[in-house]
Amino acid sequence: MDSKISSSKPAENREPPATPLSCAGSTEIILNSIADGVFTVDRDFRITWFNRAAEIITGIPKDEAIGRPCCEVFRANICETACALRHTLETGKPIVDKPIAILTAEGKEIPISVSTALLKDAEGRVIGGVETFRDLSLVERLRRELHRRYSFGDMVSKSPAMQKLFAILPEIARSESTVLIQGESGTGKEVLARTLHSMSPRARGPFVAVNCGALPDTLLESELFGHVAGAFTDAKKARQGRFALAEGGTLLLDEIGDVSPALQVRLLRVIEERVYEPLGSSKSVKANVRIIAASNKDLEELVERGIFRKDLYYRVNVVKLWLPPLSERREDIPLLTQHFIDRFNRLQDKTVAGLSRETLAVFMHHDWPGNIRELENAIEHAFILCSDGLIRPEHLPEHLRAQSKRLPPEPGSTLKDVERRAIWEALERNAWRRMATARELGIDKNTLRRKMKRYRLTDPSPSRSESSLSDSFHL
């Protein structure tokens, strides 16, 4: 939105060349009373007005700021390469809540968010730009405190179930007992296993993971125990297995429920006696390895069905940890989202600030069948299309973009907001049959058509055939 502030004519031969912009008395009082910093610049980017909050945030008095180039006052990390005000003055497009960092008068770097707009005089001519900025130092401190409070290693959660899990993890990590981690695919079983390893006395040793469901039996046996030269047709030289590679550390047997009964017997011996024989060898090798097993299947049910050996189940089920699906810990979605945003910002050198309100609503309504892995993939997809600012629905994968159209309108306090939501709910109740909706609301069908057009209410299920709706009419 363009900003208009009346200006006084500059006095001749005034130095510095920029002229302070005076505001009407009431406007100046309001701008000096708000907590956000506000300043204006002329077409040469020299500061012409500076409010009290801007003085407090930057540590630079108004008299020192006015007349100077804004880049000398703020020394922001975007001044030379991606100036927000320059973008607005060149394109006419405002910038909203762009996260950046500035240096204060004491040389301290602080995070802020900036919004820009064109500055016009009473005749509508562009005479410069206006920028508002907000100190995010407190927000950043609170964010770090929340992350510290609700994080455990590489895991973050505030759900009661996960907090109980976090409370017992240190004791489990210190022990040498075999651990069984169960949970749906994508819930973070390997992350939990790595966390246990990093907190254990074996932390200096290797962490080795093998997906037991990804290989056929013959290859998996060689992968786990290794083989000697000549053990089978293509075995031209000896090769170490995962047990040997994990010596002195931790071995994760992921998806152990997919292991065949024949291989289960060999695993049982390793867990019981801590020895194994490489393929083609008759010599036993000692295994100084802590074993963590993981499965997205209910091993107890597999035992009852005779698919998984009961004796092996009891060997791996010394300590059982259950990871709930993301749909049962929705309170973690904002926390996990920010965790992934911070990580991708570091990896890709971007400045994405977070999620828009609409995107967060999509995330909170989605069932996340792929759990945390699906959430991480959605954020990574958004980073391809969004380099800074907020992630919006148009940045999301297709299935989430489609879901955003099915969400109810955001609640509001104005009569228009209330009317829009009432019409949307009536359309939903009537399966978007417009004639039935008009009758329920007690309005003419043409009135409904106009209001749907005004509020941009469209059927979120385009696949639904209009011709199949006997009680419908065309817009």
In tens, the pLDDT along 149-184 reads 777 877 889 889 999 999 999 999 999 999 999 999
Question: 4 or 276, which is more confident?
Answer: 276
Q: In the chain, which segments carry CATH 3.30.450.20?
A: 3-135
pLDDT at 299: 95
Binned at pLDDT 50, 70 and 90, residue 413 comes out as very low
pLDDT in tens, 414-430: 456 657 777 887 887 78
pLDDT in tens, 448-466: 888 888 888 887 664 443 4
pLDDT in tens, 223-269: 999 888 766 667 678 888 999 999 999 999 999 999 999 899 999 99
Q: Is pLDDT at 200 greater than 90 in this prediction?
A: yes
Q: In the chain, which segments carry CATH 3.40.50.300?
A: 160-323
pLDDT at 27: 55
Q: Do the beta carbons of residue 158 and residue 331 sit within 8 Å?
A: yes
pLDDT at 310: 95
pLDDT at 7: 42
3-135: CATH topology: Beta-Lactamase (3.30.450)
Q: In the chain, which segments carry CATH 1.10.8.60?
A: 329-402
pLDDT at 146: 59
pLDDT at 465: 38
- CA 17 vs. chain centroid, Å, equals 46
Q: Do the beta carbons of residue 208 and residue 242 sit within 8 Å?
A: yes
Identify which of 193, 323, 173 has the alpha carbon closest to the alpha carbon of residue 254: 193
Parallel, antiparallel, or unpaired for β 290-295 and 351-355? unpaired
Dihedral sign from CA coordinates of 361, 363, 364, 367 = positive
Percent of the chain with pLDDT over 70: 83
pLDDT in tens, 177-196: 999 999 999 999 999 999 99
Q: What are phi and psi of 388, to 5 degrees?
A: -160, 180
Say how far apart CA 243 and CA 270 lie, in whole Å: 10
Of 35-39, 56-60, 368-372, the poorest mean pLDDT is in 35-39
Average pLDDT, whole number, for the chain?
83
pLDDT at 59: 92
pLDDT in tens, 202-215: 999 999 999 998 88
3-class secondary-structure state, position 327: helix
The CATH code of the domain at 415-468 is 1.10.10
Residue 79: both structure tokens together: 């001044």
pLDDT in tens, 313-350: 999 999 999 999 999 999 999 889 988 998 999 899 88
Q: Is pLDDT at 376 greater than 90 in this prediction?
A: yes
Cα atoms in the 13 Å half-sphere on the side-chain side of 160:
0
Q: In the chain, which segments carry CATH 1.10.10?
A: 415-468
CATH architecture of 160-323: 3-Layer(aba) Sandwich (3.40)
Percent of the chain with pLDDT over 90: 43
Contacts 24+ apart (CB under 8 A), 385-389: 386/352, 387/350, 387/351, 387/352, 388/98, 388/99, 388/350, 388/351, 388/352, 388/353, 389/95, 389/96, 389/97, 389/98, 389/99, 389/352, 389/353
Question: 408 or 124, which is more confident?
Answer: 124
Q: Do the beta carbons of residue 3 and residue 118 sit within 8 Å?
A: yes
Binned at pLDDT 50, 70 and 90, residue 148 comes out as low
Identify which of 340, 331, 334 has the alpha carbon closest to the alpha carbon of residue 376: 340
Question: Alpha-carbon dihedral of residues 41, 45, 48, 53, nearest 10 degrees?
Answer: 70
Domain 329-402 grouped into CATH 2.30.30.280: no
Q: Which residues have a Cβ under 8 Å from the Cβ of 290 and sit 6 or more positions away?
A: 176, 178, 197, 200, 202, 249, 250, 251
Q: Is pLDDT at 270 greater than 70 in this prediction?
A: yes
pLDDT in tens, 5-34: 444 434 444 444 444 444 444 456 556 767
Question: 201 or 356, which is more confident?
Answer: 201
Residue 229: both structure tokens together: 């030269």
